[in-house]
């Protein structure tokens, strides 16, 4: 079986959980340029990929399981997997933030990495919005008055504070999920359930 894990903080936290299950990569994903890592478990390989690619690899059927943030699952909104376990790792919040005294209103211009989530959130509030998709330094768009607000992930909110922004709405609390390809689950249910039980005990 193959397990895809998002790069970055999720990978760090997921590997710690796996180690508590006595599952270890035979080489460190942080110091190797390999894409697929064997483990001390004969039937398990780990693949390290970008967060946005995890649902795509699951959909392909070439990867059985994935560990990925809820934000990615909400944005891609694919129905190709089962969400088996909330690992409670890499926890943060997806929020709307803006300068002081700014409030939600109709026809706001919003910068974000999450256009689908953003449009849905504003629509559910009864507002239209114009979305500017950015890939980094989302806060800068509001600081420079390119947009009225931003939608982004925050952990402590310190970056917002240092840039003169504040949280004005919570969209979702975010953590990381263990997901599985639906077909793989039917074929390898016993192995996957055993793996899930191990992960659940080690959270």
20 and 34 in a single domain? The answer is: yes
166 and 155 in a single domain? The answer is: yes
Q: What are the pLDDT digits (tens) for 125-178?
A: 999 999 999 998 999 999 999 999 999 999 999 999 999 999 999 999 999 999
Residue 80 has pLDDT above 90, yes or no: no
Q: 78 pLDDT band (50/70/90 cuts)?
A: confident
Residue 203 has pLDDT above 90, yes or no: no
As given in the structure block, the two tokens for residue 21 are 């299950």
When pLDDT is averaged across residues 67-86 and rounded to a whole number, the result is 94
149 and 192 in a single domain? The answer is: no
**Widest pairwise Cα distance in the chain:** 57
When pLDDT is averaged across residues 59-63 and rounded to a whole number, the result is 93
147 and 167 in a single domain? The answer is: yes
161 and 198 in a single domain? The answer is: no
166 and 119 in a single domain? The answer is: yes
Q: Across all residues in the chain, what is the average pLDDT?
A: 95
Q: 65 pLDDT band (50/70/90 cuts)?
A: very high
SS3 annotation, the chain:
CEEEEECCHHHHHHHHHHHHCCCCECCCCCCCCCCEEEECCCCCEEEEECHHHHHHHHHHCCCCEEEEEHHHHHHHCCCCEEEEEECCCCCEEEEEEEECCCCCCCCEEEEECCHHHHHHHHHHCCCCEEEEECCCCHHHHHHCCCCCEEEEEECCCHHHHHCCEEEEEEEEEECEEEEEEHHHHHHCHHHHHHHHHHHHHHC
Pair 94, 71: CB distance under 8 Å: yes
101 and 165 in a single domain? The answer is: yes
76 and 7 in a single domain? The answer is: yes
114 and 170 in a single domain? The answer is: yes
pLDDT for the residue numbered 145: 96
106 and 73 in a single domain? The answer is: no
% of the chain at pLDDT higher than 70: 100
The pTM for the full model equals 0.92
98 and 47 in a single domain? The answer is: no
Q: What are the pLDDT digits (tens) for 87-136?
A: 999 999 999 999 999 999 999 999 999 999 999 999 999 999 999 999 98
Domain that holds residue 14: 2-90+175-202
139 and 193 in a single domain? The answer is: no
Separation between Cα atoms, residue 88 and residue 90, nearest integer Å: 7
Separation between Cα atoms, residue 92 and residue 31, nearest integer Å: 26
Q: What is the CATH number of the domain that holds 46?
A: 3.40.190.10
Separation between Cα atoms, residue 195 and residue 133, nearest integer Å: 37
How many separate domains does the chain show? 2
Q: Which of 70, 120, 122, 66 is nearest to 94 (CA)?
A: 70
């Amino acid at each position: 079986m193959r397990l895809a894990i998002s790069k970055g903080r999720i990978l760090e936290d997921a590997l710690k959980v796996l180690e508590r299950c006595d599952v270890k990569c035979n080489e460190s994903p942080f110091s190797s340029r390999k894409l697929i890592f064997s483990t001390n478990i004969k039937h398990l390989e780990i693949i390290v990929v970008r967060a946005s690619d995890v649902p795509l690899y699951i959909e392909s059927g070439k990867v059985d399981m994935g560990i990925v943030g809820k934000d990615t699952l909400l944005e891609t909104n694919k129905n190709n997997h089962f969400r088996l376990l909330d690992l409670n790792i890499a926890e943060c919040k997806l929020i709307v933030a803006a300068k002081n005294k700014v409030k939600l209103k109709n026809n706001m211009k919003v910068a974000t990495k999450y256009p689908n989530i953003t449009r849905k959130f504003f629509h559910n509030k009864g507002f239209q919005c114009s979305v500017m998709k950015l890939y980094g330094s989302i806060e800068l768009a509001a600081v420079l008055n390119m947009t009225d607000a931003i939608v982004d992930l925050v952990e402590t909110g310190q970056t917002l504070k240092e840039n003169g922004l504040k949280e004005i709405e919570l969209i979702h609390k975010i953590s990381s999920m263990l997901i599985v390809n639906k077909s793989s689950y039917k074929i390898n249910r016993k192995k996957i359930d055993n793996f899930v039980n191990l992960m659940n005990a080690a959270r």
